[in-house]
Structure 1
Amino acid sequence: MHGPASPGWLLVALCAATGVYCLLRMRSSVEEQRRAAGGEALMGFGMAAMAVPSAVFSPPAWAWPVYTVVFGTAALRALWAARAGACHLHHVVGAGAMVYMAAAMAASPAPAHAHQHEGAGVPLLTGVLVLYFAGYVLVSGVRLLPAAGAGTSAVSWSDRPEVVRACRLSMGIGMLAMLMAM
């Protein structure tokens, strides 16, 4: 998101690696894993693309509306899937946050973006999303702790719940970092 280069590249690597893992999860024999993995792969790769430091590459002006449409569609798809269970509501919030960030980037050119909120404070929606993802990261981290000590089983590596939780935790951390950089 137009922050310092080193943390930006770390965020790109984290999100891209998460996206690759989610693509591999799409080969799972568990239908629910496959369904969730596609949306999570899109989020991981989208976050990686948005996190590329602006000193290296600034997307053309048309890219931000494209991101808005792609993630708006993903949010609608997740909202449709949420009818079956509340577990998809997090995907709705995540895709909505991506739409919000893309719209904010479209509204402000890269050089002015770093100073857009000087003296104005944090916009309410940004603050709400930061609080949501901070809570999500903390809860996800706590849920990961008991699973990390569990013994191995005959479950495929792509279906291991602790790896899936770690993947979701890393995307939550990435989203939190991107929102805080706004």
Structure 2
Amino acid sequence: MHGPAMSGWLLMALCATTGAYCLLRTRSETAEGRRTARAEALMGFGMAAMAMPAAVVTPPEWGWAVYAVLFGAAALRALWFSRRSGHHLHHLVGSAAMVYMAFTMAPGDGGGHGGHAGHGGMATAGGIPLLTGLLLAYYAVYVLRSGARLIPVAATAGGGGPVGEVPVEGGWGTRPELALACRLTMGIAMFAMLLTL
């Protein structure tokens, strides 16, 4: 369990944990918050499944099609809800990236469980370099922007305490900094998965 297998296990555990926390958030959010948390949970669990090392579980030949259909539907849903919230545009990009990675998993010349975890398929084994580069650039900016938002500020505009000490009524499930940390985690994981295409 060294090298790529170890990083696959770590990525899988990180994404699954993030997905589980997002599921917990659905119990304590507003209607829009629940919708967002469900989309993020789907993304976390889907990324965890894609990151599973091929040496342990070889996905079925048709597994890529399941991912493509599932995340294609999630992309259409995100497109529909992006009318209300700009954050759903990020979900649209994420779902589209998952569909793209699913197509790189499709059985082809390379065979196996390739792409980000050794999958084969698409015109070139790693997908389309320009599209991969654009997605990498998007996620690099997203991760840097999300990380900067987690940095505590000395005081709020109203003269209160630090931003991280906002009173929380619903418990740890509604803490905005934890939700942001989950988004940052999934952004880093998506960047890592795209890097290995």
TM-score (norm 1): 0.90
Which of 135, 143, 151 is residue 145 of structure 1 equivalent to? 151
Aligned partner of 1:129 in structure 2 is 135
Identity, % of aligned pairs? 58
The residue identity in structure 2 corresponding to 1:158 is: G
Higher RCO structure (Cα 8 Å, ≥6 apart): 1
**Compared CA separation, residues 139 and 33, structure 1 to 2 (3 A):** same
- The alpha-carbon deviation at position 87 of structure 1 amounts to 1.6
CA RMSD of aligned residues (A): 2.3
- Residues 104-137 of structure 1: CA deviation (Å, up to 9, x unaligned): 111442267559768x996111111011001100
| Native 8 Å contact 1:33 1:159 kept in 2 | no
Corresponding pairs, count: 179
TM-score (norm 2): 0.83
Structure 1: which 5+ residue stretches go unaligned? none
Give distance in 1, aligned partners of 2:113 and 2:23.
34
| Native 8 Å contact 1:9 1:51 kept in 2 | yes
Aligned partner of 1:7 in structure 2 is 7
Larger radius of gyration: 2
**Compared CA separation, residues 112 and 18, structure 1 to 2 (3 A):** closer
- The alpha-carbon deviation at position 160 of structure 1 amounts to 1.0
| Native 8 Å contact 2:105 2:113 kept in 1 | no
Aligned partner of 2:175 in structure 1 is 160
Aligned partner of 1:46 in structure 2 is 46
The residue identity in structure 2 corresponding to 1:110 is: G
Instruction: List aligned pairs for 1:1-182, cutoff 5 A.
Output: 4-108=4-108, 109-110=111-112, 114=118, 123-146=129-152, 150-156=164-170, 157-182=172-197
| Native 8 Å contact 1:23 1:37 kept in 2 | yes
Structure 2: which 5+ residue stretches go unaligned? 154-161
